[in-house]
Structure 1
Amino acid sequence: MTVKTIPLSEIVSNHNNPRTTFNEESIEQLAQSIKQDGVLQNLIVKPVEGGYEVVVGGRRLRSLRLLLEQGEINSNFSVPVRIQDNQPDNDNLRIAVVENVQREQMHPLDEAEAFLKLTQEGVDLKEVAAQSGVSIYFMKRRLLLGNLIDDSKTAYREEKISLSAAEALAMGNAEDQKLLLERLNDGYVLNPHKIRNMLLCDKPSVSIALFDKEKYTGSITADLFEAEDNTYFDDVGQFNELQDEAVEKLMQDLENDPDVDWVGIERDDHFEHWRYDEAEEGENGGVMIHYRLDGNVEIYRGLVVRENTKTLDDSKPKERPEFTQKAYGYFANQKTILAQQAITKNIRKAKEIDVLQRINLFRDANIKTHQAIKSLSGEQKDSAECELLTQIEQDLMEFLGIELKDRWYVFDSWGVNRSAYYEAVKSLTDEQLDQLFVLLVAISFGKEVTTREETRDSLFYLFANDLDITPRDGWTPNEEFFKLHKKDQLLAIAEACGASIGKQLYKLKRKDLIAELVAYYANSNPLQNEAQQALKDSFCPRLMQFEAEASEA
């Protein structure tokens, strides 16, 4: 390695510099230090065509260029350097990363990209960790930030979210991150705990699986910040199917075990220990399998049933909920949109709803847009079934001059000219005022419960029944709908809607079955079989129905 001085003009920046974010204040401070005392530590460079490229010393080079720009030095200023000859590029990258990590703290996203480049170059991360004084765990946390989508990275660089919130956000896929960022733009405070809860809701931990993990073909979410149980199955339906099979096999194995007198299973969140005693010494006793609703399995061995509990009338064990909270939320939002569309055509119902809303919100009449409106994607906004959304945008622009843009469902009164809005409203005709009133009431109305099915005597259903809504007039089964179901549920749907006629769909894997059903409804050409066409057109799942006597189909 040669040590010498070379003109500043011959030194070029390293386009692979792992540091992309620089603290301008620290660069200026370093420039003043160089102006007063000179360059105290050599830059490490490598020969390139037309000069030398910096390997280590990017901050010193920026400071020198700042002095050049300020006229304090000229382009021939002598810079002390060490020249590396014939050094592999991945070694140069490793040295640059170590130097940057050891010196002024790099931005975590820069560290993430640098560590990722090292892994792609095949560099041993243990060596980098040892030389830079950071742990492998630290490096893994930085690598996780590479999962962030561009908008998430921008939010973090602009300090809209903290590092810990960014790390939590990185556990989600692109769709999850976009949804959470929308909430952030709406004014929600997204702390790491809230983000993890939103991302991991309903997802079972990999650690509770009884089946061979290689059987699972879906994606997983890893949480590097919890001590245990930190990896989760994203496809809850597939997990449930595989776990059911594993529990069934476990029961069969136990029933064939000569050292087990009997086998039972209890499907509930709580195990009724009080019903059992431990078997006497020398006795085998039975085995109870506690299969919790979240998929966790606990096994209790060597049990005997207490005498005073044998005659009790045991209630039927609880079944796993038919749908996840996400699924119930989907149905709630879809039915809410249908109800809102109906309300826009019925001013009488709009006035009835408004009266009840104002009674319930008497102390704080802050009537907000229902979350169902916010849940719709950009594609849905442009579809015929959501013409309501186009109407919102057109009416608010025409009557009040409000342009909603990206956050079109948020009515932000901060900084607006209230008197101008008052004059705009006052100038509306009675017909225009009624039109705007009924629209704003409609989009504030909807299901109050979105994590389970409401009772049929709720206000939502009472109004919806009066509105005489036909779900299939504004809703069609699509991929989002089908993905909410397990394979056995999809097969039942296929039979109910006629998609299974003439096909052996039971042979398909769940994802292929979903694709088949999506294609079935995407095809708008009339079917030759009229009976099958009738099934296709009339199919409506129970949770999409409004009638009090909704069928169980």
Structure 2
Amino acid sequence: MSVTESKAKTSVKTSKKNVKPAEAAALKEALEAAQIELVPLSALIKSPLNVRTIPYPVESVRELAESIETIGLIQNLVVHTLPEGMSGVAAGGRRLAALQLLLTENRIDAGYQVIVKRVSDELAVVASMVENNQRVAMHPAEQIAGFRKLSEQGKSPAQIGDQLGYGSRHVQRMLKLAHLAPEILELLANNTLDVEQCQALSLESDQARQVQVYEQVKAAYSTVSAHLIKRVITETEISVTHPRFVFIGRETYEAAGGVVREDLFSQEENDGTADRVLVDRLVMEKLETAALAIELNEDWSWSIGRENPLQNYGEDRENYLLLPVPEPQYTPDEQQRLDELYATQAATETYEDEAAIQVLIDEIESQAAHRQWTDEQKASCGVVACLHNGELCILRGIQKKVKTPGEADAATQATSRDLHVIDRKEPDAAEGISLPLLKKCLPNAHWLFRLPWYNSHRKQWP
């Protein structure tokens, strides 16, 4: 049994495995134990548990009918008991269709005795899926219906997968498609939509909205691609892999009432999208909290959280003056520890080890530098917490410019040459790295030494 694109473009990987021996043995044992029965054709109908919903090819049904009329029914049907004395055919739907064709053409009568074996409702679904796998390849819509029936019987995705030889993730994905709007599933069954398009529509849980999105994309574009469907559904959302979402964390997002729109069909585990407005609010709350904590702990006069680091142009240049970061003054213990870390770092062989040591160096240097801010500076300056490349960036020693209307232009010209902007993460991974070590680690990074960033730090390197 395989899932294929309805429009025969490319196959959809199904994680198909062989049916487990234990499951195959259980089904085989049940069928072998079942007694052969003769049931009149008039008492047989297609079972509601039969997973095949796509009509059989007319020619194949007629060919089978001719064979049955000539030599009789060779293989029994598998049925289960229905109300009012009826029996539902779970496996053998094409044979039933052939018999009913013979009946409509008066080539047999309604009392024609059909050989059957009777099984439980639970085994009826399994038998139907296994037989359809062995016969004509199941249509995706049929597989979805079959998995849904097994799920309604209380089986977990893992149990369904074990019975039928599929990975549990594949079963989860098909059960996700089972919640599509009936109109969408009908389009899939009619080959108007393919599996990939349905996967994109399944990102929307509201069935009315699914239909609306399909009609919207269909009306606006010549091709209803899965990409366009997904874009319409998630246009106001942000990926859970986006640095802003990673910054706040999924736990915080969900605690605030946020819901992640899971994408079971992504190649990445736990992929999905989140409410962009809520993420933006939580980012600002986290930045403001971080800024306030530093203000209170270090006795700065004010603090703010903002999206981006302060820049040396535009409104930032007109409104703020960033004081130079004081040179760190190390205690004897700190200096000894730094010397040890530098020596260890110089002997490392991997960038990962070097980066881990650099974190320790940065912590010592940042603490030493922060101690050098004077009480007078803290009384007149504040702290900004912002995001830089998805990480928390703390800027200390920020002075608000106070100007009278008449002095605004002159003050801007007088101070613009002296504005010192330090845009760095907390702590700055660049500080504390000697120039020889930087050249050793980045032998091909000669272009780096031509950047303003290099010139602003060069004075700190021996």
Task: State TM-score, norm by structure 1.
Answer: 0.45
Query: Which amino acid in the other structure matches residue 104 of structure 2?
Result: E
Residue 68 (str. 1) matches residue 82 (str. 2)? no
- Three-state SS of the structure 2 residue aligned to 1:79 is strand
Match of 1:19 in 2: 52
Query: Which amino acid in the other structure matches residue 195 of structure 2?
Result: L
Query: Which amino acid in the other structure matches residue 3 of structure 1?
Result: I
Match of 1:82 among 99, 117, 121: 117
Relative to structure 1, the CA distance from residue 60 to residue 245 in structure 2 (aligned partners, 3 Å threshold; closer, same or farther) is farther
Q: How many residue pairs were aligned? A: 297
Residue 8 (str. 1) matches residue 37 (str. 2)? no
- Three-state SS of the structure 1 residue aligned to 2:80 is strand
Say whether the 8 Å CA contact 1:21–1:107 is kept in structure 2. yes
Match of 1:206 among 240, 263, 266: 240
Match of 1:303 among 410, 413, 429: 429
Match of 2:226 in 1: 192
Task: State TM-score, norm by structure 2.
Answer: 0.53
Structure 1: where are the runs of 5+ without partners?
A: 312-553
Deviations 1:349-384 (Å, cap 9, x if unpaired)? xxxxxxxxxxxxxxxxxxxxxxxxxxxxxxxxxxxx
1:178: Cα distance to partner?
A: 0.8
Deviations 1:113-154 (Å, cap 9, x if unpaired)? 332232232124333323323332322222222332233334
Deviations 1:189-213 (Å, cap 9, x if unpaired)? 0112222233233422335242434
Say whether the 8 Å CA contact 2:239–2:274 is kept in structure 1. no
Match of 2:277 among 213, 237, 260: 237
Query: Which amino acid in the other structure matches residue 180 of structure 2?
Result: L
Identity %: 24
Relative to structure 1, the CA distance from residue 268 to residue 161 in structure 2 (aligned partners, 3 Å threshold; closer, same or farther) is farther
CA–CA distance in structure 1, aligned partners of residues 231 and 261 of structure 2: 13
1:164: Cα distance to partner?
A: 1.1
Match of 1:470 in 2: none
CA–CA distance in structure 2, aligned partners of residues 40 and 176 of structure 1: 46
Deviations 1:265-324 (Å, cap 9, x if unpaired)? 88459x99xxx9x8698452459987379xx5578655245673379xxxxxxxxxxxxx
1:12: Cα distance to partner?
A: 2.8
Query: Which amino acid in the other structure matches residue 309 of structure 1?
Result: S
Match of 2:124 in 1: 92
Match of 2:200 among 145, 151, 168: 168
Aligned residues: CA RMSD = 4.1
- Three-state SS of the structure 1 residue aligned to 2:78 is strand
Relative to structure 1, the CA distance from residue 191 to residue 75 in structure 2 (aligned partners, 3 Å threshold; closer, same or farther) is same
1:2: Cα distance to partner?
A: 1.0
Match of 1:58 among 86, 93, 98: 93
Deviations 1:366-421 (Å, cap 9, x if unpaired)? xxxxxxxxxxxxxxxxxxxxxxxxxxxxxxxxxxxxxxxxxxxxxxxxxxxxxxxx
Say whether the 8 Å CA contact 1:11–1:53 is kept in structure 2. yes
1:18: Cα distance to partner?
A: 2.7
- Three-state SS of the structure 2 residue aligned to 1:212 is helix
Match of 2:140 among 101, 108, 112: 108
Match of 1:155 in 2: 187
Deviations 1:64-95 (Å, cap 9, x if unpaired)? 111222333332333221123xx3x3443344
Say whether the 8 Å CA contact 1:98–1:128 is kept in structure 2. no
Q: Relative contact order (alpha carbons < 8 A, sep ≥ 6): 1 or 2 greater?
A: 2
Relative to structure 1, the CA distance from residue 292 to residue 82 in structure 2 (aligned partners, 3 Å threshold; closer, same or farther) is farther
Residue 140 (str. 1) matches residue 172 (str. 2)? yes
- Three-state SS of the structure 2 residue aligned to 1:4 is strand
1:183: Cα distance to partner?
A: 3.1
Match of 1:118 in 2: 150
- Three-state SS of the structure 1 residue aligned to 2:429 is strand
CA–CA distance in structure 1, aligned partners of residues 131 and 272 of structure 2: 36
Relative to structure 1, the CA distance from residue 220 to residue 75 in structure 2 (aligned partners, 3 Å threshold; closer, same or farther) is same
CA–CA distance in structure 2, aligned partners of residues 104 and 12 of structure 1: 20
CA–CA distance in structure 1, aligned partners of residues 256 and 132 of structure 2: 41
Say whether the 8 Å CA contact 1:27–1:62 is kept in structure 2. yes
1:239: Cα distance to partner?
A: 2.4
CA–CA distance in structure 2, aligned partners of residues 280 and 222 of structure 1: 34
Structure 2: where are the runs of 5+ without partners?
A: 1-33, 313-324, 326-354, 368-383, 394-424, 432-452
Say whether the 8 Å CA contact 2:287–2:386 is kept in structure 1. no
